């Protein structure tokens, strides 16, 4: 158990870092590194990270996490519980439970709401993790010992607009007890202000934009795995492609045609780059099957790839194309142009629109992939670097605000 030592306090990070989803695994790494740098010689705070379940994905470069039951026990007077990022302002216990199960088990659980009631299945999932709060990532001081502050950073939650008023008000009531709230897109900020105009909401780019400053490409060359080093050694210039399975299956034939055309016209080889391995978003399974149908211009990042392998690969590419917000964030912060694919999930589009990036890199249908990719490649260099510098500076200013709030306690 994580214990206090003397006057030592903890920033206890809670996020979806208990499953292999690239962006979620980056949140505690980036947040810890950024806050440590800002704290400097002020060493009153140490760090610990938590998911809903205990997890150790260190083989993939992640930080091991304790579970939320541990968090309830561990947090003591003087600590900060920091919700450290993600589209988690409108998550349910059931949805998160599915992502922590094997595919076979998740398929069984997914059917339970049809046999039981959705409310009962939600209670069962919450019971599984002994959750004290109605929503998994909406915490308030009520769940902890006296003197614990709760803060939110780099959060999103577009589905909140679809929630019934009673649930929306319950979320707003919990957030009103927070000491700091920062969201990563204007849509999330607008919804929260509509629910409670008195909430002090900061809006700032996703904290993963700080990765390029904290983990420059030269540093990443020291952290990548031998398998990925060998895969990329002496390779031609390449583009990275990723997409989630629902989108990929719906557009499979068109995506293959567009990618092969793009490779032929640009001279870039294709590196399929999976970044999610959770139920319903097993990018690795879909992309491996896609790559097997596309010939020798296509390689696939190995299943053993770490988050540092993915960072290095995206930072080294000439172009990124995909559905992932953190694929886009990583590419942009390292100065790599990109093509965001247009899906039914508005999360990526909300973020691009919020930070005035969608004009240069608009969300694109599968049929327009090649044309938009060639336009994006023309923006390489100073244009992309300028966007990246602006967003890194805004993310750093927000992290500075967060650090000052923590140290003021």
Check whether 60 has a pLDDT greater than 90: yes
Whether the Cβ atoms of residue 188 and residue 156 lie closer than 8 Å to each other: yes
pLDDT tens profile 203-249: 999 999 999 999 999 999 999 999 999 999 887 899 999 999 999 99
Write down the mean pLDDT value for the chain.
95
Query: Which among 118, 18, 112, 16 is positioned nearest to 58, based on CA atoms?
Result: 18
Residue 181 β-bridge partners: 152
Residue 117 β-bridge partners: none
Whether the Cβ atoms of residue 181 and residue 200 lie closer than 8 Å to each other: yes
pLDDT-derived band at 6 (thresholds 50, 70, 90) equals low
> What's the rounded Cα separation, in Å, for the pair 50 and 64?
8
What residues does CATH 3.40.50.2000 cover in the chain? 211-392
Check whether 121 has a pLDDT greater than 90: yes
pLDDT tens profile 79-95: 999 999 999 999 999 99
Whether the Cβ atoms of residue 155 and residue 138 lie closer than 8 Å to each other: no
pLDDT tens profile 334-362: 999 999 999 999 999 999 999 999 999 99
> Among 5-14, 22-31, 103-112, 349-358, where is mean pLDDT lowest?
5-14
The pair phi, psi for residue 324, each rounded to 5°, is -85, 130
Determine the 3-state secondary structure of 155 from DSSP: strand
* C-alpha of 354 from chain center: 17
The architecture of the domain spanning 211-392 is: 3-Layer(aba) Sandwich (3.40)
Check whether 265 has a pLDDT greater than 60: yes
Question: Exposure pattern of 309-319 as b/e (b: 16+ CB <10 Å)?
Answer: bbbbbbbbbbb
Whether the Cβ atoms of residue 1 and residue 69 lie closer than 8 Å to each other: no
| Neighbouring C-alpha atoms within 13 Å toward the C-beta of 278 | 18
pLDDT at 216: 97
To the nearest 10 degrees (0 to 180), the angle between helices 347-354 and 325-333 is 30
């Amino acid at each position: 158990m994580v214990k206090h030592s003397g006057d030592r306090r903890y920033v206890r990070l809670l996020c979806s870092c208990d499953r292999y989803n690239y962006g979620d695994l980056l949140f505690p790494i980036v947040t810890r590194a950024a806050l440590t740098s800002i704290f400097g010689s002020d060493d009153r705070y140490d760090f610990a990270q938590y998911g809903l379940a205990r997890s150790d994905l260190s083989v993939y470069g992640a930080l091991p996490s304790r579970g939320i039951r541990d968090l309830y026990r561990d947090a003591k007077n003087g600590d900060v519980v920091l919700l450290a990022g993600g589209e988690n302002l409108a998550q349910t216990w059931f949805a998160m439970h599915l992502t922590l199960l094997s595919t076979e088990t998740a398929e069984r659980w997914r059917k339970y709401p049809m046999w039981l009631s959705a409310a009962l299945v939600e209670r069962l999932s919450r019971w599984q993790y002994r959750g004290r709060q109605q929503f998994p990532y909406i915490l308030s001081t009520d769940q902890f010992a006296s003197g614990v502050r709760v803060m939110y950073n780099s959060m999103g939650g577009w589905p909140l607009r679809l929630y019934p008023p009673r649930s929306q008000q319950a979320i707003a009531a919990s957030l009103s007890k927070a000491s700091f709230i920062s969201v990563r897109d204007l849509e999330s900020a607008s919804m929260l202000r509509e629910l409670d105009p008195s909430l002090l909401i900061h809006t700032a780019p996703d904290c993963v934009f700080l990765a390029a400053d904290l983990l420059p490409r030269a540093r990443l060359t020291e952290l990548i795995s031998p398998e990925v080093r060998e895969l990329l050694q002496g390779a031609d210039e390449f583009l990275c492609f990723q997409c989630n399975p629902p989108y990929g299956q719906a557009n499979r034939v068109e995506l293959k045609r567009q990618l092969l055309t793009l490779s032929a016209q640009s001279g870039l080889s294709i590196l399929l780059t999976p970044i999610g391995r959770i139920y319903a978003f097993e990018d690795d399974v879909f992309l491996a099957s896609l790559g097997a149908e596309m010939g020798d211009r296509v390689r696939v990042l190995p299943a053993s790839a770490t988050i540092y392998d993915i960072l290095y690969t995206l930072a080294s590419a000439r172009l990124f194309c995909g559905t992932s917000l953190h694929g886009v964030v990583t590419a942009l912060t390292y100065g790599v142009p990109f093509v965001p694919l247009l899906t039914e999930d508005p999360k990526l589009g909300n973020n691009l629109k919020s930070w005035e990036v969608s004009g240069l890199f608009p969300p694109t249908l599968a049929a327009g992939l090649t044309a938009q990719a060639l336009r994006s490649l023309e923006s390489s260099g100073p244009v992309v670097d300028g966007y990246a510098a602006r967003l890194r500076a805004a993310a750093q200013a927000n992290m500075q605000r967060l650090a000052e709030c923590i140290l003021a306690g």
